[in-house]
Structure 1
Amino acid sequence: MQFSVIGFIAALNRETEKIRLNDGYKHSITGFGFHDVLIETPVHNMPIALLPLNHVTDIIRAYKRRFIELYSDTRIGHVIIFKNHGEGAGTSLEHPHSQIVGTPVTPFQIRSRLEEAIRFFDITGECMVCKTMSEEKKDGTRIILETNHFLTFNPYASLSPFHTWIFPKRHFATFSEITDDEISDLALNLRATLAKFYFGLDNPDFNFVIRSNRPKDATSEFFHWYISIVPRLTMSAGFELGSGMFINTALPEESAEFLRKVEAPEQP
């Protein structure tokens, strides 16, 4: 069983009034928002990779429920679901948990991704994620695993070693539209992917993020939600900070081949 609690180190405050402030070139907004911690299991040091499948399914259901609840507040601009696993990934709480944050604005990085998806759609008439998935399946060298509703692979332009994406095969723009069957299949896929990290990479620190559009944009043709997982095996430094480009010391084809060969013990 898992439950959601108010973030004890909350970055935002749900009691604060949302007020925009403008003073010349200086623009700001008060720290209104929601910052929840989702306790994934009562068992200390039990990662998702080792949890029973029905437990992982419950976690994803809790993600969906809270995602919808936060977006029902019209003051919220964006909701992000993420997990920091290990000190190298920025965790400040050792007990297994995820975080769900509702911000009063849509962050610049999110707007940039949406704008790039729109540009791609305007040029090609296709969803960028659907096109990527189609080409990755044809190539096959970067695929890690495939389940009924999801494809897991290392993108050809991976940011870092073992950078991994999980794409839903069905086109839908927002995580709020995931079905019960897809939740069950995502639990299977996500646990299997993280188990390959756990046993193949010796339980590395990692971050994962659910990248999704808003529920009110559920009919969007150009955006397609997905999960990004970044194992923290290397450190970004001055070049990455100064250029916005990333040096990856591992070929994604070799990373995917390695992970495909990892055989995790069967879990209930």
Structure 2
Amino acid sequence: MNKLHTEERKIFVTLFEAIIFGIVQGITEFLPISSTAHIVITQLIFGYTFPGLSFEIFLHLASVLAVMIYFWRDLLNVITGFFKYIAKRNREDRTQFFFGIYILIATAITGVLGKLLTDVTADSIKTPPFIAGALVVTGLSLIFIERFHRVGNKTEDTMTFWDSIIVGLGQTLAVIPGISRSGATLVVALLAGLNRDTAVRYSFLLAIPVILGSTVLALDDFSMTMVDYIGPFNLFISFIVTFVFSLIGIIWLINFLKQSKLIYFAIYCFILAILVYTFIDPSTVMDVG
């Protein structure tokens, strides 16, 4: 009887953890508060980690599906305009063609430099003190761009190759837990002179190739062990939860940006940094893949 109760509890906890990870991944992926930091922190709090990177890859696919559905019109316009300009060289397609090029440039920079940075820093960047420090940097960046930087007026029509290079370099820093990808791209894009609407659109569309690219590179880590360990039903639920909360995160961020309230995300980063530094024991750090 005790054995049965223990096994039932194990199944329940696994489902519960799958749901929690789905909520954390979904709501933080597109908010400027670092989803990577939250995933690592959640694992440290649970004192638990899923085998390899399979589960994280699975959740990221749900997030990228959410952004593709939300921005499907923008994505379709960029893709069709890109190939139509190659085929016909119509002037009306030129903007979307170069916007697609700018997305590819930033993605390539992030892919190459991000891999190098990850290889060099390895697990040293996953410690609670380092994550806390990176969260403070994210918060300070959000405050600076909100309070002290004058928003530019560049649009897709007036963007340059240099702008995409700058954003790609900024996005590379997001491999550090605590540095938000969406926050880094928004801050750097605004610093480069893009207006808010273009910066937001560029940031979200950049997430698609970056997440898909990192998923493809990590496919060799995917195994049936993850399915056996968590269970098909739990995986399905975590995917749906991640997808739903990713949509919520996207809508939430866009609404906050319209009201110029990045300062609230900065305050959250500061509070979280204090909690991480104060209450999470560095000795509990484990390999999260």
Structure holding more helix per residue: 2
Fold agreement, TM-score > 0.5: no
Q: Tell which structure's C-alpha radius of gyration is larger.
A: 2
Q: Shorter chain as normaliser: what TM range?
A: under 0.3
* TM-score (norm: length of structure 1): 0.26
